[in-house]
Structure 1
């Protein structure tokens, strides 16, 4: 069964781009494209909506305020030009946070997260039950499944066939789960800056050239990801003026 989608954005060109992207994904079906949250509310009440592509900065009612009033939330993917709402949006249990301009690859990655949740029969996005916030990552390590709080993870490093998670407590956790799989499970405040490094932007202390310092850890930004990463840092003003 296809997942029914609703697009909410006050910019016509943004709605057109997302509509085109939805049309390229066989698993998705577009129900409506709305220019305001108030207009979208009627569809939420009367139609089955599985996936909500939602802008944040809109007149009358912002995307975040709209999410707060929804009694039965669909899986929400935020689409915005502003990175500073990432932490707040994660508190509302959104599936992903897409920064404009959005390319199709990034869009499809967000959609695959929703598909994975549906396939794993997670209740939250695709039923009428309200979302239950998740603040931990569950990973396989040392022949068992362990949990680690997202806020405690500083950096995730690829090391050959293994992946290492380093926490603020200097805990080092090795797992055979892939970087790509872990990346799908992480909230919006994590960013992949290199094929071998995913960083928690909340723990960045400084950036010097292509070197990122997080507490006592160093991660390298690859050339093809540097511009996107610096744009994110600049928008979020993480390092001040």
Structure 2
């Protein structure tokens, strides 16, 4: 997986330390540098390839927003500040996200997931192996710093949690990965898997029973989201006899 190269620009050393520590916790992020002022940061952007910029707004001399206006070929930008009143201007400048200090790790993860949604090509999963029979098809997902093979026929359901996605297998094993459920869903065959909720994808052949509002798989009750009902009904109609 390609490393996402990050640059931190903030005039507060503590703020740099906090974000740098968060970056270190996520294996596919790489910190290429930091700066306490916008002028030096612009020089760093010319020296290094940067995919993601964490940019403070209130800095002496050149502010973060002024710097942003002067960047022609800029990376994705996540603004960081203690002042919420700059949010509208930040979004007008097409900042990816806006983090209010003190920044929690949970909120940081949400911003990173937003980045990956936009840049899915950076974390693209390999397509399910189509040269194999259906029972042998597989994908690889990153889990605990390793690329783990997941055989599609072993998957019961997939659940999106706050900071990660859990893949539940029929032998009871659970694989956790720092990815998005949408990114994983796109790699799964539509004939075998079904998105039933913003937080759940299920394997159709693992459904034990279902009602108008939920599914039961291996004693686990999985909700059917209102926005997914029509699509689910259409997909399952040819399999149902009433």
Which TM-score applies when normalising by structure 2?
Answer: 0.51
Distance (Å, rounded) in 1 between the aligned partners of 2:116 and 2:52: 10
Greater RCO, CA 8 A, separation 6+: 1
Measure how far apart 1:65 and its partner are: 0.6
Structure 2 residue aligned with 1:100: 101
> Hey, which bits of structure 1, 4+ residues long, moved more than 6 A?
none
Gaps (5+ residues) in structure 2?
123-223, 230-242
Which TM-score applies when normalising by structure 1?
Answer: 0.51
Q: Is residue 27 of structure 2 the alignment partner of residue 26 of structure 1? A: yes
Distance (Å, rounded) in 2 between the aligned partners of 1:60 and 1:72: 22
Distance (Å, rounded) in 1 between the aligned partners of 2:3 and 2:59: 28
Q: From the superposition, tell whether residues 94 and 176 of structure 1 become closer, same or farther in structure 2 (CA, over 3 Å).
A: farther
Q: Secondary structure at the match of 1:60?
A: coil
Distance (Å, rounded) in 2 between the aligned partners of 1:42 and 1:73: 12
Q: Is residue 26 of structure 2 the alignment partner of residue 10 of structure 1? A: no
Measure how far apart 1:21 and its partner are: 0.4
How large is the RMSD of aligned CA atoms in angstroms? 1.8
What is the correspondence of 1:151-190 to structure 2 with a 5 Å cutoff?
A: 161-162=225-226, 175-176=227-228
Measure how far apart 1:161 and its partner are: 2.0
Distance (Å, rounded) in 1 between the aligned partners of 2:33 and 2:121: 27
Distance (Å, rounded) in 1 between the aligned partners of 2:12 and 2:101: 12
Distance (Å, rounded) in 2 between the aligned partners of 1:29 and 1:161: 36
What is the correspondence of 1:104-115 to structure 2 with a 5 Å cutoff?
A: 104-115=105-116
Distance (Å, rounded) in 2 between the aligned partners of 1:94 and 1:52: 10
Cα distance per residue 1:151-190 (max 9 Å; x no partner): xxxxxxxxx823xxxxxxxxxxxx449xxxxxxxxxxxxx
Measure how far apart 1:45 and its partner are: 1.1
Structure 2 residue aligned with 1:116: 117
Q: Secondary structure at the match of 1:48?
A: coil
Distance (Å, rounded) in 2 between the aligned partners of 1:104 and 1:11: 18
Distance (Å, rounded) in 1 between the aligned partners of 2:225 and 2:65: 39
The structure with the largest alpha-carbon Rg is 2
Gaps (5+ residues) in structure 1?
122-159, 163-174, 178-241
